[in-house]
A and B are shown apart, each in its own frame.
Chain A
Amino acid sequence: MSKATRLTRRAVIVGSLAVTGGLAVGIYALNRDWPNPLEEDLPEGAVTFNPWILISEAGITLMAPHTDLGQGIRHLQAALIAEELDVDLDQPEVTVEPGPAAPAYANRALAAEGLPFMSQDQGTVATIARAASARLMGALGLQGTGGSSSTPDSYVKLREAGAMAREMLKAAAAYRENLAMTDLRTERGTVILPDGRALPYAELAEAAARELPPREIALRAPSQWRLLGRPMQRLDILAKSTGTLDYGIDLTREGMVHATVKLNPRPGGDVLSHDDSAALAVPGVSRVLPVSNGLAVVADSTWTAFKGAEALVCDWGPAPFLPEQADHWAALATALEGPPEKVWRDTGAQPDRPGMPPRDYRAPYLAHAPLEPLSALIHVTEARCDIWVSSQFPGLAEQKVAAITGVPREAVHLHNQYSGGSFGHRLEFENIIRAAEIGTAMRGTPVKLTYTREEDMAHDFPRQIAMARASGQVADGQVQALDLAIAAPSVTASQMGRIGFASAGADSQTVAGAWSMPYALPALRVAGHAVADLAPVSSWRSVGASTAGFFAESALDELIHEAGADPLAERLRLCDYAPARACLEAVGEMSDWGSPLPEGTGRGVAMVLSFGTPVAEVVEVHQTDAGLRIAKVWVAADVGRVLDPVNFENLVQGGVIWGLGHAVNCEVTYADGIAEPTNYYAHAGLRMPQAPEIFVRGLETGAEVRGIGEPPVPPAAPALANAIFAATGQRLREMPFANFIDFA
């Protein structure tokens, strides 16, 4: 199928993306295989077995199409293929590439956690809906990285890809040597014959590609794994430790010029007028061009472009949303007073007697602010466009570039890069759109667009702001009821609107991590309240669970204290999902929960189930003369199977630090429609002296293999708030906490 044909599928894509917004999905009969994109432009002498494997005389190339944002997924994809293909990633002839953007790399797991079923629900209807969602996502061909879904999407698929090629290579060797398949084994990219001779895959590949693929593939049991489940050295670790890995911002092309943008600091606002005479007078500045919501400066170096942008004088239009922060909070409070958009869970009857008085909780807007500022290198010619950038939606990015440049869709080539962090930022297209606009005006000349940190932060579509109101009941030392209402703008609708898709239905992200809490409370009600017309928002590491998880686990903790129960014991008593219980039990044991603590020390616990992965955390804080110190964190996460244990520990530690740091000292506020933090003097998160010791345990009791990029984030903030209460008696219901107490 040509790329042009894919465009006609757009209407269907609209439906699929709405799935992540919480629409129930019909069962689509579409269940097609997409063509192998490696067959286009196949190098002379090379053969491809499936979209993930290409073998030629030059070597073995493995495709890792999920975008590497620092989570190590390029390595893990390669390891999944290599495990069954029987190649080793340290072999010089084995290379790993992100591959082209193509529907064959559809992420079948992307929508599963957006369905209106709790992830612990393994009932028939939920199971059928998930299978339908996977088929639909496959049929739509939407390549995307996000929602901690890369590992669930890849776990079986990529091992099957490796095994399929291995069996075909063995079949070719068996035919050539007149031996039975069972006489052969494979190792380090060779088929080994009974006499000990080793035939390199490259020699067999051409014949092997003509073999019929095996009809059934039996994947190896984990006990047979050579790579997975053991400490592995990440493919990128040497380059990232020596400054030799090229990120998008580092790339150059012959004849390239540099560019930067100066955009209306009120996101989405217009340029009313501008004076570029001073900018054009900066030596080295060659052009000033209009781009969406602002201007671009083209120059002979990044620095010169920055200087030119500084010299631009612009009259900016107003913000197309409420300009003042106080009005955003007021809108949330108003929404909570009104009827809910959807009651997501309503178990038991809320008791009709006075209980815990209603408590309000708040979570602010937050920037992604990855350390690599937005950039993109683009080369537009009449017939072709190449763009080198890191994108979590490379196919959608190609569509946007095609529409702007006028280059046919099939002649737009996005070369996906390792990114210097994302946390959701690279699900957006802001840099890609501006690069395409500049590249079109500069047709024929390669241009590298680099945002300043200030422009990046001004236009960082933040995490949704949210507010909650909780009340509840306790009796006989137990929590009896929790009634939690959450108001937030729809992150899904905001994000899909920028992609160009409509969304419908209540957004499950408003209540993610709260409505599906695995606690068997006699009465539990979780409602979502919609709020429109606030600042545009986007997916931020753990999305809705980062706010709703904080509300749920803070409110539950308040009720547990009201009941006079132990925070861990009461959660264990209420928890009705075995993997989540296992996590709570593990952190209890790891932290020696209940052991006597010195004066001024407190511990808090929280557990949130997000993206199907339960994570429990115990945080320990110490009161010191310099302020409160976050000393230690114990974490247990159940991902079904820990595939890359060293990287797993690193991601869990990083997720905890991400969750704690933003809870402590980060917020984006708007004044006159402009985001107030502009650089890392604010919104830095934790730095080395504030980072606690973090002890990690990976559990493998869950039935499914899950992701770990996001799930460690949601429990961190409530566990910290609960620890602060234990240490000081002060209950913090609003982030960032540093607005209320001093941290060391």
Chain B
Amino acid sequence: MKIGFTVNGTPQEVEVAADMPLLWVLRDVLGLTGTKYGCGAALCGACTVHMDGEAVRSCQVWAEEVAGREVVTIEGLGRPEALHAVQEAWVEQQVAQCGYCQSGQIMQAAALLAETPAPSDAEIDAAMEGNLCRCGTYPRIRAAIHAAAAKLEG
């Protein structure tokens, strides 16, 4: 079916199966590979994007559910030459090791900070629990979220 929605501010129309997950629409159809496939079952959070401002697991959103929605991916949050405050903090804290989960971590953190500008450690735990990092960069993710909160406040 034909589905129209907005990705990173640009209207898109795609012709895909109604049940194709948004993850694969983004990656295979639109070529936006910053959003990662990790588990396909909402267990790892690597595919997190924003849909109408809310963090969602794009592997669990069917294409037909996206019609008319506004989707923001890691590519739309900020660019290497124009970083979002969360990305700036991620660079400064040098969070990534393999980096494969970090698109999802950053999108989840950005959604947390949009809702809760100065999160406590407990609020960070609650918001980030679904985002798995096999390399174990959690201490730096926590530090980067606090640093990004300070940037956004300042």
Contact = CB atoms under 8 A, between A and B. Distances in A.
Interface of A: 69-72, 233-234, 236-247, 249-250, 252, 258, 283-284, 301-304, 306, 369-373, 418-423, 450, 452-453, 646-647, 650-651, 653-658, 661, 679-681, 684-689, 691, 693-694
A578 B98 CA distance: 33
B118 interface: no
B55 to A, nearest CB: 14
Specify which of B43, B136, B141 lies most central, judged by the most chain A CB atoms within 10 Å of its CB.
Answer: B136
A244 B31 CA distance: 12
Nearest to A231: B94
A691 B38 contact: no
Interface in B78-103: 78-80, 83, 87, 90-91, 94-103
B102 A302 contact: no
Interface string B106-128: 10000000000000000011101
Nearest to A71: B97
Given A244-B80, A283-B17, A658-B134, 18 more contacts: A233-B94, A244-B34, A244-B79, A249-B33, A249-B36, A250-B27, A418-B98, A418-B99, A422-B98, A650-B97, A650-B137, A653-B140, A679-B40, A685-B132, A687-B129, A687-B138, A688-B125, A689-B129
Nearest to A243: B34
Contacts of A372: 36, 38, 98, 100
Contacts of A238: 80, 91
6 contacts: A242-B87, A243-B73, A250-B27, A303-B17, A420-B36, A653-B136
A38 to B, nearest CB: 27
A655 B125 CA distance: 20
A453 B43 CA distance: 11
A154 to B, nearest CB: 18
Contacts of A684: 43, 132
B132 A373 contact: no
A688 to B, nearest CB: 4
Contact of A691 (B35, B94, B136): B136
A657 B100 CA distance: 17
B39 A680 contact: yes
A243 B103 contact: yes
Contact of B98 (A420, A450, A688): A420
B28 interface: yes
A238 B90 CA distance: 9
Interface string B14-57: 00010011001001110101111111110110100000000000
B20 A303 contact: yes
Contact of A302 (B28, B78, B95, B98): B28
A695 to B, nearest CB: 10
Contacts, number: 188
Given A70-B99, A236-B96, A689-B129, A241 B87 contact: yes
A553 B137 CA distance: 26
Please list the 8 inter-chain residue pairs (A to B) with the smallest Cβ-Cβ separation, ordered nearest first: A243-B34, A70-B98, A420-B100, A657-B136, A240-B99, A243-B74, A654-B136, A691-B138
B72 to A, nearest CB: 11
Contacts of B46: 371
Contacts of A252: 31
Contacts of B74: 242-243
Contact of A646 (B36, B87, B94): B94
A302 B24 contact: yes
Contacts of B132: 371, 680, 684-685, 687
Nearest to B108: A688
Most buried by A among B20, B37, B137: B37
Most chain A beta-carbon contacts within 10 A, residue among B43, B99, B126, B129: B99
B133 to A, nearest CB: 8
Contacts of A452: 40
Interface string B62-77: 0000000000011100
Nearest to A421: B98
B139 interface: yes
B135 interface: yes
A661 B35 CA distance: 25
A685 B28 contact: no
Contacts of A651: 97
Q: Which of A244, A258, A647 has the most CB of B within 10 A?
A: A244
Contacts of A422: 98
Nearest to B46: A371
Given A243-B73, A372-B98, A249 B134 contact: no
Contacts of B139: 653, 691, 693-694
Nearest to A370: B134
Nearest to B86: A241
Contacts of A370: 98, 100, 134
Contacts of B100: 70, 247, 370-372, 420-421
A677 to B, nearest CB: 11
B123 to A, nearest CB: 11
Contacts of A655: 136
B98 A301 contact: no
A242 B102 CA distance: 9
A369 B131 CA distance: 15
B136 A685 contact: yes
A680 B75 CA distance: 26
A681 to B, nearest CB: 6
Given A372-B38, A653-B140, A241 B102 contact: yes
A241 B136 CA distance: 16
Contacts of A658: 134-136
A258 B124 contact: no
Contacts of B91: 233, 237-238, 241
